[in-house]
């Protein structure tokens, strides 16, 4: 246990260093990019008030101070969550991004609840029958699933559901919008906390099609990872031993071979989770749901630099957190892992 704790501390220190690195990169973007940083930070203003806006941005960024003061100011602002004011929405970027991030996270959680069991099951069956037709079929299916653009599938689904008169566009029906009290930002949980089953059902029906469209990639990817690693594990000595002892097949596969794979599977799923965040944005935009994707689509034409940087930082932070958690889980299960 001592070794594991040591590793956990090391891993967390490393992740903190990565977060610090991300703040440095955002600093590089803002200050060392070509042109006037204040001009970019103010959203490339034009018109009579432009010089005023640029002067304000200059003070806000601390451009009149020496570079080390600028840098420490930037890092301090980064860690205190003061990421500037959105140009398009005139609100604090941090609260704006966080509020919309909850919506994206909700979608992502539902889609992974769908895709993890299906992907695992496909992968296990594929590796149990590998070399056979079932394996070839499942493998081709997973290649197709993980290489189709998600927004494309989402579009097809939106059309199909709309023509069936099932409401899928938007996150919540307009009638319920005023009635729902937001507590933690996940509408599925909020509606249940409020005890309103009708709102819950409405939100649930609207979240399923985008979640399905989004879950295709993880299903294919998880199936592939499971297939490859389980195929290797089934050839190990301990599996042969367990079989020769006469243990039933399900115990050998699920109790012995698959158990050893939990750490690497957790890590792979964590990776797919953080990469799906980007796809979630595209799917969200197609389905007209609020979220990071819609926010960015509105922000880009206004050259909303603070907002885009904040979104980049949030996604990078999710990557770091999931990766760290996966690594720690791996270390807890398999003590041989070291830095």
Partner 1 sequence: MIKRVLKSINSLAFPISVWRKRITFRIGLIITTAILLAGAAGGLLPLIYGWDIGFRIVGESFQPPSLGHVFGTDDLGRDMFIRILMGTSRALAQTTIVIVLSLFIGLFVGAITAYYKGFVEKALLYVTELFLAIPSILLALVFVILFGRGALTVSLALVVSWWSWYGRFAYLQARAVRDLDFIVLAEHYGLPGIYIIFRHIVPNIMSPIFIQALTDAGSVVIELATINFLIGVGTTSIEEPDWGLMLGYGVRYIFNYWWIPLLPGLFIVLMALGFALIGDSLYEEMHPQLKRRWKLWF
Question: Which residues here bind partner 1, judged by CB under 8 A?
Answer: 14, 17-18, 21-22, 25, 29, 33-35, 40, 128, 130-132, 139-140, 143-144, 146-149, 151-152, 155, 159, 227-228, 231-232, 234-235, 240, 243-244, 248-249, 252, 275, 277-279, 281-282, 285, 293, 296-297, 300-301, 303, 305, 308-309, 311-312, 315-316, 319-320, 323
DSSP string over 283-315? HHHHHT--SHHHHHHHHGGGT-HHHHHHHHHHH
Nearer to partner 1, 204 or 275 (CB): 275
What value, to the nearest 5°, has the Cα angle with vertex 323 and ends 224 and 277?
A: 70
Q: State in angstroms the smallest separation of the CB of 104 from partner 1.
A: 12
Structure tokens at 44: 């490339």
CA distance 67 to 70: 5
Nearer to partner 1, 180 or 307 (CB): 307
The DSSP letter of residue 252 is I
Q: State in angstroms the smallest separation of the CB of 153 from partner 1.
A: 10
For residue 298, give Cα distances in angstroms to 41, 107, 149, 293: 17, 20, 22, 9
Nearer to partner 1, 21 or 81 (CB): 21
Structure tokens at 158: 């939106």
CA distance 290 to 89: 14
CA distance 38 to 44: 9
Nearer to partner 1, 80 or 250 (CB): 250
| Chain CA centroid to CA 118, Å | 19
- Contacts of 19 by beta carbon, 8 Å cutoff, 6+ apart: 317, 320
CA distance 257 to 234: 6
Q: State in angstroms the smallest separation of the CB of 319 from partner 1.
A: 5
Q: State in angstroms the smallest separation of the CB of 59 from partner 1.
A: 21
CA distance 65 to 41: 17
Q: State in angstroms the smallest separation of the CB of 249 from partner 1.
A: 5
Q: State in angstroms the smallest separation of the CB of 217 from partner 1.
A: 10
Q: State in angstroms the smallest separation of the CB of 308 from partner 1.
A: 5
Q: State in angstroms the smallest separation of the CB of 303 from partner 1.
A: 5
Nearer to partner 1, 188 or 247 (CB): 247
- Contacts of 94 by beta carbon, 8 Å cutoff, 6+ apart: 81, 82, 83, 310
Nearer to partner 1, 89 or 204 (CB): 89
For helices 197-233 and 187-194, what crossing angle results, to 10°? 130
Nearer to partner 1, 25 or 208 (CB): 25
Nearer to partner 1, 172 or 320 (CB): 320
Nearer to partner 1, 277 or 331 (CB): 277
CA distance 325 to 307: 27
Q: State in angstroms the smallest separation of the CB of 179 from partner 1.
A: 31
Whether residue 149 contacts residue 213, with contact meaning beta carbons closer than 8 Å, is answered with: no
């Amino acid at each position: 246990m001592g070794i594991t704790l040591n590793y956990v501390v090391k891993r967390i220190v490393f992740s903190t260093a990565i977060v610090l690195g991300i703040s440095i990169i955002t600093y590089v973007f803002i200050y060392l990019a070509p042109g006037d940083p204040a001009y970019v930070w103010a959203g490339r203003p034009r018109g009579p008030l432009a010089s005023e806006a640029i002067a304000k941005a200059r003070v806000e960024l601390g451009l009149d101070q020496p570079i080390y003061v600028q840098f420490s100011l930037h890092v301090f602002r980064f860690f205190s969550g003061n990421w500037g004011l959105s140009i398009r929405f005139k609100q604090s970027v941090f609260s704006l991004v966080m509020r919309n991030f909850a919506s994206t996270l909700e979608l992502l959680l539902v889609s992974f609840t769908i895709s993890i069991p299906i992907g695992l099951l496909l992968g296990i069956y594929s590796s149990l029958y590998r070399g056979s037709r079932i394996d070839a079929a499942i493998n081709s299916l997973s290649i197709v699933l993980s290489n189709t653009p998600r927004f494309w599938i989402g579009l097809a689904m939106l059309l199909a559901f709309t023509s069936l008169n099932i409401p899928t566009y938007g996150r919540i029906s307009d009638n319920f919008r005023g009635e729902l009290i937001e507590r933690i930002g996940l509408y599925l949980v909020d509606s249940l906390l409020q005890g309103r089953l009708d709102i819950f059902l409405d939100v649930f029906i609207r979240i399923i099609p985008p979640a399905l469209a989004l879950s295709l990639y993880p299903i294919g990817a998880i199936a592939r990872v499971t297939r490859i690693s389980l195929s290797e594990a089934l050839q190990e000595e301990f599996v042969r031993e367990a079989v020769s002892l006469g243990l039933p097949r399900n115990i050998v596969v699920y109790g012995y071979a698959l158990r050893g794979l939990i750490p690497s599977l957790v890590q792979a799923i964590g990776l797919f989770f953080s990469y799906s965040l980007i796809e979630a944005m595209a799917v969200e935009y197609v389905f007209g749901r609020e979220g990071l994707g819609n926010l960015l689509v509105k922000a880009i034409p206004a050259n909303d630099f603070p907002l885009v940087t904040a979104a980049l930082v949030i996604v990078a932070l999710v990557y770091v957190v999931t990766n760290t958690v996966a690594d720690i889980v791996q270390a807890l299960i398999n003590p041989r892992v070291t830095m």
